[in-house]
Structure 1
Amino acid sequence: MKRRLLVVAIGVFALVGGAITYVVQARDGGAAENAVPVVTGQPMGLDGRTLFFRNLADGPDSGKLAAVPIGSAGPEGSVRRVGELRCDRFAAARGTAVCLRLKAGSLPPLTELIVLDANLRERHRETLPGTPSRARVSPDGRIVNWTLFVSGDSYAATGFSTRTGLYEVDTGKLLKSVEELAVFVDGKRYFAADVNYWGITFGADGNKFYVTMASKGKTYLVEADYRSYRGTAIAENVECPSLSPDGRRIAYKEKVSNGVWRLAVLDLATRRSTHPPETRSIDDQPVWQGNATLLYPIRTAGNTLDIWSVGLTTAPKLLIPKATSPSFS
C-alpha cells in the first residue's frame, strides 16, 4: 500500500508566514530507496542554477512544476521543490518561461499558453485550440514557441495535425502558426496541402531557428531565418530538433518504424548523423545540458515517465524518476 509521510520541516525549510511541509511519497511497497522526497510551498524563480521539470510523483502535487539544483540532479540527489504552477509543458531561458496547460473541461481541447517572467509571475496569457505537445524559449528569452496537437494524441497516430506558433515577449506580437513560412526543398519553393510543422529550436540570437516539417510521408529538418521568414530543408527523417548551445549540433528523434524513434545527433557542418548510446525509443524533444549531454523522458513499465541523461559517447543514466519536460533556467 502506498504511504505518505508528512513531516514539518523546521529551520532549514523556513518561509515567511509559516513552515514548509516535507513530503516523502513512496512507491509500491514503501521501500525507502524508492521514495521520491518532495518539499512543497517554496517560491521558485529562474536563477540560472536550476533544473525545472513536471513532477509526476504520486500525490496531490503530481503535474505541478518542480525543481532541483542543477548540480544535484540524480535519482538519489536533492529533494525536489514543488510549486503551485501546473503545466503540461514547461520551458525557460534568460528570464522568460512558458507554461502550456490543457484547459479543464474544454471540448474540443483548448490549451492555455502562459508566458512568465523570471519570478514565474504571469506576463501574458492566450487560449489556443489543441493539446500541449512541445514548448521552447529562445536562448535570449525574447521569443516563446509552442506546438499543439489539433487532432490525434501522438506522433504515432494517423491523421494528426499540429500547430506551432511564436510569441514575441517584448512586442506582444503573436504568430499563431508558422504555416506561412516560405520553405525551399531541393532549391524549389515547397507547396503542399498536408504540411505540418512542430518542435522549433532556436539559435543563440533567437533569429535562426530549426523546425520539423512533415509532408507526403516525409519529415524534413528546416533551417529558417525569422526576420526574412524563409527556410531551407537541410535533412530528412528529423523530428523534434534541439540545437546545442554552441550551435554545432542538432539532437533529434530519428524514426525507425511506426511509433519507434531513436535518439540521433546531426553535425551541422558535416551533415553526418551519429547515435548516442541510448537504444530505447524516444518520443520527445531532447534537451541539451551543455554541448555533450542530452536529457529526455522515458516511459516506464508503470506507465509513468522518468528523465534520463546520456552523453554523446557515454552510457545513459537515470536522472530524475517520475518526471518529464526538463528545462534549465
Structure 2
Amino acid sequence: MTLRRRILILTCAVVLLAAVGVLAVVRASSRADEKDRPQAGGPQITRGGLTLTPGEGGRRIVFRNMAWGPHRDELASVPADAPEGPRTASGVSCLRFHSAAGTGVCLQADKGGVQDGYKAVVLDARLKEVASHPLAGIPTRARVSPGGHLAAWTVFVGGDSYAGTNFSTRTSLLDLRTGKYDASLEDFTIRKDGKTYRNADVNFWGVTFAADEKTFYATLATGGQTYLVRGDLTGRTVTTLRENLECPSLSPDGTRLVFKKRVPGLSADAPWRLHVLDLASMRETPLAEERSVDDQVVWTDDHTVVYSLPGDFGADLYSVPADGSGAPARLMASALAPAFLG
C-alpha cells in the first residue's frame, strides 16, 4: 500500500469519526430539547407550592409526574377528585416516592458525588430534607408507615426485574423517632415453618407497615419461592405466613393485603395477577384487572386500589375495586408512585 493511499484512508477515517461525534451531539441535544418540550395534549403543569398535607382543598394525590416537559420526574399534585386536572409541580425529582402523615420518602438519582448513584431522602411536610442515605442499587420500592414514623425502601443490587430469577435486592428500614437505620432486612431473624431459617439466597422487597408503627409485611424470596412475611421491629424477626405473594400493601383498616401473584401458564415476562388476601380468613380474591401488574399497589381507601401500568410516557395509573367486582379504569395518564393524602 502506497503512502498516499494510507494517508487517504486515515483522512477518511478521521472525517467519519468526526461526523459520528457531531451526530451524537445533535441527537443528545434533541433529546434534551424534547424533555424541555411540553407533552402535546398532555396535562397542564405549573410550578407552585406543594406540601405533604391535605390542605384546605381536601384530599390530594402526590405522585411522580411522567408527562414530558420541564417538570418530568418531579413530584406533582392534583386534587383527588380531579386526577386528570392541572398539576402543580414541586421542583423535587424522585424515581420512587411515598408519603403518609406529613412524611415523604423520595428515592432519587445522586449526581453530586465522585460517581453517580442513588440515595433515599426523607422529606418533611414542606419537602425539606430531614435524612438521607446512599442506596446500593437501582430504586424500585418505597413506603412510609401510616403514622409517618417509619420509612422503608428496596433497591435492585443485581438484575433489574422481578419477572425472572436472576436478581438480588436490598431492603432498608429507618425509624425516624430514634434514627435507627437497618441497612438490610437480611439481618433480621427469619422464622419459617416454626424454625429459624438461614440461606445465602434470601431476598426481601416490598415493605408495607401496620398502624401500630412496629408491625410490617413484606416479600421474602428463597429457594425459588416467594413468601409473605410478617415482621416485628421490636423483636427484629420476620415470620413466613403464605407462599406466592409479592409486593403486599396493607389496607387502611389493616384487615387485607393487596398483592401480585404469579399465575401458572402466564408469560414469564408478564406472570402476575392482582389479588387481595383477607388476613383473618386467609382467603384470596382475584381482582378484575387481568393485565400483569408489576407494582406495589396503593389503597385510595378501604374499597379501591391504584397501580401503574406501562403508558406512552412511561406509566399511567389505574384503579379497580378491591373486592373483585367492577372493571379497571384509567385514573391518570403519565403518572407513577402515587400517595393519597387526607
User: TM tier, shorter chain?
Assistant: 0.7 to 0.9
Give the drift of 1:303: 5.9
Residue 310 of structure 2 corresponds to residue 299 of structure 1: yes
How many positions carry a matched residue from both structures? 297
Residue 336 of structure 2 corresponds to residue 324 of structure 1: yes
Q: Which residue of 2 aligns with 1:128?
A: 135
2:292 to 270, 281, 285: 281
Residue 83 of structure 2 corresponds to residue 67 of structure 1: no
2 CA distance for matches of 1:84 and 1:127? 21
Matches within 5 A, 1:7-18: none
After TM superposition, what 4+ stretches of structure 1 lie above 6 angstroms from structure 2? 105-109
Give the drift of 1:106: 7.8
2:188 to 181, 190, 193: 181
Contact 2:171 2:184 in 1 (8 A): yes
SS of the residue 2:154 aligns to:
strand
Structure 1 108/164 Cα, relative in aligned 2: closer, same or farther at 3 Å? farther
Give the drift of 1:170: 2.1
Matches within 5 A, 1:98-247: 98-104=105-111, 110-247=117-254
Give the drift of 1:109: 6.6
Residue 68 of structure 2 corresponds to residue 58 of structure 1: yes
Q: Which residue of 2 aligns with 1:45?
A: 51
What is the alpha-carbon root mean square deviation over aligned residues?
A: 2.0
Contact 1:252 1:286 in 2 (8 A): yes
Give the drift of 1:327: 1.0
Structure 1 275/46 Cα, relative in aligned 2: closer, same or farther at 3 Å? same
Contact 1:167 1:175 in 2 (8 A): yes
User: Which has more strand, going by share of residues?
Assistant: 1
SS of the residue 1:129 aligns to:
coil
Identity percentage over the alignment? Answer: 43
User: Which has more helix, going by share of residues?
Assistant: 2
Structure 1 311/53 Cα, relative in aligned 2: closer, same or farther at 3 Å? same
Contact 1:109 1:131 in 2 (8 A): no
1 CA distance for matches of 2:204 and 2:156? 11
Q: Which residue of 2 aligns with 1:309?
A: 319
Deviations 1:253-300 (A, max 9, x none): 111242321111111111111111100110010001111100100113
Deviations 1:234-266 (A, max 9, x none): 111100000001111000111124232111111
Contact 1:293 1:309 in 2 (8 A): yes
SS of the residue 2:44 aligns to:
strand
Give the drift of 1:152: 1.0
Contact 2:100 2:146 in 1 (8 A): yes
Q: Which residue of 2 aligns with 1:9?
A: none
Structure 1 105/218 Cα, relative in aligned 2: closer, same or farther at 3 Å? farther
2 CA distance for matches of 1:130 and 1:214? 18
Structure 2: state its 5+ residue gaps.
1-32
Give the drift of 1:168: 1.2
Structure 1 292/280 Cα, relative in aligned 2: closer, same or farther at 3 Å? same
Contact 2:315 2:333 in 1 (8 A): yes
Deviations 1:191-224 (A, max 9, x none): 1110000000000121110010000110000012
1 CA distance for matches of 2:136 and 2:237? 26
TM-score, normalised to structure 1, is 0.86
Q: Which amino acid aligns with 1:250?
A: L
Q: Which has the larger radius of gyration?
A: 2
1 CA distance for matches of 2:180 and 2:79? 33
Contact 2:138 2:155 in 1 (8 A): yes
TM-score, normalised to structure 2, is 0.83
